[in-house]
Amino acid sequence: MYEGAVQDLIDELGRLPGVGPKSAQRIAFHLLAAESADVGRLVAALQRVQAEVRFCVTCYNVAENEQCRICRDPRRSDDVICVVEEPKDVVAIERTREFRGRYHVLGGAISPIEGVGPDDLRVKELMTRLMDGAVTELIIATDPNLEGEATAAYLARLVGPLGLAVSRLASGLPVGGDLEYADEITLGRAFEGRRRIDA
Ligand SMILES: [Zn+2]
């Protein structure tokens, strides 16, 4: 629709999650009109995440070191792991201040429709972490939707023989949504009222 550079920018923006063609166009023209210092900061931020941010070798949260801030914190307890789908879910749960254990980020959820199976997620890595016996409780905090529930059921079955306490966040979260859309109080309550699931 547009020429060269402008259309390239619209195309790239349109590939981002949640950005439709109209939004892509709006953002592109906003950037065209912006001060060069503002655009410079955006470019620098993009380059920095590319260069500096990686995934924690232990829990796969985003990290600027080999391990993330949470895995490096000696005050957190090692006996409980909270399993989430994405790094943004770690942020949502941290906001509730209800949890002082460690995390494990799966990198998504099981979805037969999208061709995502357990092997595409960091399930093997989770099992490895559970093998040394230090962890006694697993809290499964996948999203309250079809894929999240399927993933929770799969994990509960898989870790069943290990004899851990396995729990799922209590209901009350907006069904079908993402964990991140729940407000802190609702998510905090769901955490506190988590229910033991038996495989
Ligand atoms: Zn970590």
Closest CA to 101 of 196, 176, 167: 167
Distance 72 CA to ligand 1 centre (A): 7
Distance 82 CA to ligand 1 centre (A): 12
Distance 181 CA to ligand 1 centre (A): 23
Distance 154 CA to ligand 1 centre (A): 23
CA dist., res. 99 & res. 72, Å (int):
16
In a structure prediction context, what are the per-residue pLDDT tens digits for the chain, which is 199 residues long?
A: 788 999 999 999 999 988 999 999 999 999 999 999 999 999 999 999 889 889 999 999 999 889 999 999 999 999 999 999 999 999 999 998 889 999 999 999 999 888 999 999 999 999 999 998 899 999 999 998 889 999 999 999 999 999 899 999 876 666 666 777 777 888 888 888 788 886 5
pLDDT score at 4: 92
Question: Tokens 């380059």 appear where?
Answer: 47
CA atoms within 13 A on the CB side of 10: 14
CA dist., res. 111 & res. 4, Å (int):
37
Distance 97 CA to ligand 1 centre (A): 17
Distance 55 CA to ligand 1 centre (A): 8
Helix (H) or strand (E) holding 185: helix 184-192
The amino acid at residue 29 is F
Supply φ then ψ for residue 133, to 5 degrees. 85, 0
Question: Tokens 């870790």 appear where?
Answer: 159
CA dist., res. 67 & res. 77, Å (int):
16
Distance 57 CA to ligand 1 centre (A): 7
Distance 32 CA to ligand 1 centre (A): 38
Distance 23 CA to ligand 1 centre (A): 34
Distance 15 CA to ligand 1 centre (A): 28
**pLDDT tens track for 173-188:** 666 667 777 778 888 8
The model's pTM: 0.79
Supply φ then ψ for residue 46, to 5 degrees. -65, -40
Furthest-apart CA atoms within the chain: distance in Å: 62
The amino acid at residue 81 is I
**pLDDT tens track for 91-133:** 999 998 889 999 999 999 999 888 999 999 999 999 999 998 8
Distance 44 CA to ligand 1 centre (A): 25
